[in-house]
């Protein structure tokens, strides 16, 4: 047979791609495992022991569907955040929530504003629903708030994306700058404020939660500081009417019971989270020292990764990343102009940073000779 059911014109126009090539795919292609997994912004320190106990306790109920209302976890989050349960929606990580919010707002040809080089999964969803992506450049390695606002007004865009702290650069804005952006935003434009790294950021960078505005939605995750990337639990905070709209399109049985139990247990162990935040800060400092020892500088970071400026152009930084991978250190890098001079190293356990420290000099030397 040569005929097949036709895809929509939109789907036919899109490439078959994924925003990130996972370390597992690279390991399969290389025929061996990485010794240091420092490229995916995961929490290599692992989840709380309470999380592991909760997963074991819930395992026997894996035959059951999860509560489609996510009652227990939403209640715990509402208490933790000081909002109502009707101000929270839970889904499969921020990635899943981004897909839902784009679906709520964007149809074919609708302009959507973001920064050139910002989190590519958001762009992936915009393309998937036929939106027209409008990008503005970073300024001083930060997403530029004024340029984002200017583009929103120029394009009459109903959706704008900003990550604070930023991925992939790790930089951040203080809360007053975010609040000023919100005040300046048209009422008909929804701000997606991605706060995936808010737990590792300075408290001064996180605005107070205000659920009265229907044009702001804040997205957070258990994947980073809480160490549950493999469980895929994210949540969004917003005005009740906006949050209720998610019930029109979300997969009500898309979450699993073990993930819900794990996230609940992680949220309850704030002492463990505090310890993780300290380890993240210490690892960021160590990555900075390793970079300095090799004649490189780092960008200030409020995340669980550090962008290292390789001091030359994007082609050189790409070669450095490839040389690290060849030496069994999984790393990534920004790909957009100016940002692409950097490689990005996630924090991790001391033994993995030992590998990175040992291999970076040879990787830099080989990249210089290439």
In a domain, residue 3? The reply is no
Helical ranges in the chain per DSSP H: 9-13, 23-30, 49-58, 71-81, 93-105, 120-128, 145-155, 175-184, 240-245, 257-268, 270-293, 314-326, 350-369
- Give the pLDDT band of residue 134 (cuts 50, 70, 90): very high
1-10, 242-251, 293-302, 318-327: range with lowest mean pLDDT: 1-10
- Give the pLDDT band of residue 18 (cuts 50, 70, 90): confident
The residue segments making up the domain with residue 115 are 49-268
Do 262 and 280 reside in the same domain of the chain? no
Q: Could you report the per-residue pLDDT of 237-263, keeping only the tens digit for each?
A: 999 999 999 999 999 999 999 999 999
**How many structural domains are present in the chain?**
2
pTM value surpassing 0.85: yes
In a domain, residue 42? The reply is yes
Q: Indicate if the alpha-carbon torsion angle 138, 136, 202, 264 is positive or negative.
A: negative
279: domain CATH number is: 3.90.1150.10
Query: End of a domain among 249, 268, 287?
Result: 268
Do 296 and 244 reside in the same domain of the chain? no
Query: End of a domain among 226, 241, 268?
Result: 268
Do 123 and 209 reside in the same domain of the chain? yes
Do 223 and 276 reside in the same domain of the chain? no
Do 91 and 216 reside in the same domain of the chain? yes
Q: Mapping DSSP to helix (H, G, I), strand (E, B) and coil, where does residue 31 land?
A: coil
| Biggest CA-to-CA distance, the chain | 62
Which residue, 102, 104, 153, 162, is CA-closest to 132? 102
103: domain CATH number is: 3.40.640.10
Regarding beta strands 159-163 and 190-194, do their DSSP bridges make them parallel or antiparallel, or are they unpaired? Answer: parallel
Query: End of a domain among 268, 291, 323?
Result: 268
Q: Could you report the per-residue pLDDT of 65-103, keeping only the tens digit for each?
A: 999 999 999 999 999 999 999 999 999 999 999 999 999
Do 152 and 291 reside in the same domain of the chain? no
Do 239 and 201 reside in the same domain of the chain? yes
| CA dist., res. 350 & res. 361, Å (int) | 18
In a domain, residue 130? The reply is yes
In a domain, residue 14? The reply is no
């Amino acid at each position: 047979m040569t005929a097949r059911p036709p895809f929509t014109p939109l789907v036919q126009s899109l490439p078959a791609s994924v925003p990130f090539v996972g370390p597992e795919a690279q390991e399969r292609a290389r025929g061996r495992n990485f010794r240091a997994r420092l490229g995916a912004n995961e929490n290599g320190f692992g989840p709380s022991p309470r999380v592991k106990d909760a997963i074991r306790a819930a395992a026997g109920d894996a035959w059951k569907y999860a509560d489609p209302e996510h009652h227990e976890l939403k209640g715990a989050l509402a208490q933790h955040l000081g909002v109502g349960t009707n101000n929270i929606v839970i889904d499969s990580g921020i990635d899943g929530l981004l897909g839902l919010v784009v679906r709520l707002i964007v149809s074919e040809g609708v302009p959507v504003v973001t920064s050139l080089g910002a989190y590519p999964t958001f762009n992936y969803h915009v393309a998937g629903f036929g939106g027209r992506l409008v990008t503005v450049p970073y300024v001083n390695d930060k997403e530029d708030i004024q340029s984002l606002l200017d583009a929103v007004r120029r394009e009459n865009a109903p959706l704008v994306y900003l990550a604070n702290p930023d991925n992939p650069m790790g930089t951040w804005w203080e809360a007053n700058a975010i609040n000023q952006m919100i005040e300046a935003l048209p009422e008909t434009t929804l701000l997606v404020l991605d706060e995936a790294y808010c737990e590792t950021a300075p408290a001064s960078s996180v605005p107070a939660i205000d659920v009265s505005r229907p044009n702001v939605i804040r997205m957070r995750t258990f994947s980073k500081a809480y160490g549950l990337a493999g469980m895929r639990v994210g949540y969004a905070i917003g005005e009740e009417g906006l949050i209720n709209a998610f019930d029109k399109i979300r997969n009500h049985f898309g979450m699993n019971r073990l993930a819900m139990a794990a996230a609940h247990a992680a949220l309850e162990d704030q002492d463990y989270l505090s310890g993780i935040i300290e380890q993240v800060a210490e690892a960021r400092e160590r990555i900075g020292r390793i970079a300095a020892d090799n004649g490189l500088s780092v960008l200030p970071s409020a995340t669980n990764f550090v962008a290292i400026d390789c001091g030359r152009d994007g082609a050189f930084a790409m070669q450095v990343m490839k040389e690290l991978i060849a030496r069994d250190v999984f790393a990534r890098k920004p790909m957009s102009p100016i940002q692409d001079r950097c490689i990005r190293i996630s924090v991790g356990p001391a033994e993995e940073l030992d590998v990175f420290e040992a291999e970076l000099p040879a990787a830099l030397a080989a990249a210089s000779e290439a």
